[in-house]
Amino acid sequence: MRDLHLAWTFCFATVIAILCLTADSAVGQAIEQAPLRTPDGQPDLQGIWTFSTITPLERPSALEGRPVLSPEEAAAFEEAENRRLNRDLVDPKVGGAGYPPESEGGVVAYNEFWYDRGNQLTEDRRTSLIVDPPDGKIPPLTAEAERREEARRAYQSEHPADSWLDINPQVRCLMANNGGPPMVPGAYNNNVQILQNPEYVVIVNEMIHNARIVRLDGRPHLPQGIRQWAGASRGYWEGETLVVESSDFRPERNFRGSSTNLRLVERFTRVDADRLLYEFTAEDPTTWTRPWTAVVPMTTAENPLFEFACHEGNYAMSGILGGARAEERKAAETGEN
């Protein structure tokens, strides 16, 4: 009887242990599946995220009509694209892979080690980050925008460096496309840190070390005539998604030909512990024939955010402007235009 009692005791303890383990596992799964929240109950978007991907913003002509590739096609595309973009494979004498030779200003001296453009398509193997229009292309420019672009190019051709104001904002280390808004993957520094509290969300981009403050208190946009490099951003929660509306951009922003009428709507959605979905819609009726939307997946970054100490354009400004003046003197001496 004593042995039977011990056997029943062991079996009962085993059943209890199994039930406890099962309960712990179920609780653990529930915790993993529950949305991450801040103390005030909002979805927690905080963290350091990377949005590197080899997926192009616009669908290549060779992939027209192919919004998604098969796993085999995606692997072949990634291999070919990584080889095409690899700066170590560029012949400095003849260029290659779409890059000019060094004698024509190519930066082949930046070898592949310094690039972090990503080497894979998005997880769903899309052929463009643009999801609307369905063809994966930026909509055509309006007639007004075409005239504006033509005038801008003509001015730049005739006045490339009259003053520092004529120099591209990216050369001056003021703006970068992947620094946003909107954030479009580039060759390197595709990292962003998000911080938040009940009244603000701060978006810190590694590229050009820009910190964008998004106010959540419902205040209006800036008065007419006040414009900023990154525009003015106002945000609100729409269910599990943070919606950020930005406008009041400086004319030099010129995102893909945009004007000061550019209006951006960005959406940030926490998918799980390691994924954040970023979507933006660009609208400017004086630039494009219709709005367009891109979806950029983000994942948890493995490294901290580093300082992007961009000062080359500033330190070199005297040389840029001095060189332009020297060319003008030479042209005056030879009677050239």
Residue range 214-245, pLDDT digits in tens: 999 988 888 888 999 889 999 999 999 999 99
- What is the per-residue pLDDT across 181-215, written as a single tens digit (0 to 9) for each? 999 999 899 999 999 999 999 999 998 888 999 99
Residue 112 token pair: 């592949």
pLDDT at 327 over 80: yes
* Amino acid present at 77: F
* Structural Rg of the chain based on CA atoms: 26
What pLDDT does 34 receive? Answer: 55
pLDDT classification of 10: cutoffs 50, 70, 90: very low
Distance CA 325, CA 330 (A): 9
Residue 24 token pair: 């712990």
What pLDDT does 313 receive? Answer: 65
User: What average pLDDT does range 63-69 have in this prediction?
Assistant: 95
Residue 197 token pair: 């509290």
3-state secondary structure (DSSP) of residue 48: strand
What pLDDT does 53 receive? Answer: 95
Distance CA 279, CA 249 (A): 19
User: What average pLDDT does range 295-324 have in this prediction?
Assistant: 88
Reported residue count of the chain is: 337
Question: Could you tell me how far CA 120 lies from the centroid of its own chain?
Answer: 15
Return the bridge partners of 205, or none: 192, 210
pLDDT classification of 9: cutoffs 50, 70, 90: very low
Q: Which run of H or E residues covers position 276?
A: strand 275-283
Is 1 or 45 the better-scoring residue by pLDDT? 45
What pLDDT does 93 receive? Answer: 60
- Burial readout 107-132 (b: 16 or more C-beta within 10 A, e: otherwise): ebeeeeeebbbbebbbeebbbbbbee
Average model confidence (pLDDT) for the chain?
85
pLDDT at 90 over 80: no
Distance CA 214, CA 247 (A): 12
Distance CA 85, CA 216 (A): 41
3-state secondary structure (DSSP) of residue 131: strand
pLDDT at 97 over 80: no
What pLDDT does 108 receive? Answer: 56
pLDDT at 92 over 90: no
What pLDDT does 26 receive? Answer: 37
Strands (E), 183-251: 191-196, 200-205, 210-215, 232-238, 241-247
Residue 122 token pair: 């998005």
Q: Compute CA distances 6 → 3, 11, 19, 252, 332, whole Å.
A: 5, 9, 20, 83, 108
What pLDDT does 95 receive? Answer: 58
Helical segments of the chain, H only: 2-33, 71-85, 143-158, 312-315, 317-334
What pLDDT does 172 receive? Answer: 86
pLDDT at 22 over 70: no
Residue 77, phi then psi, degrees to nearest 5: -65, -45
Q: Is this structure's pTM higher than 0.75?
A: yes
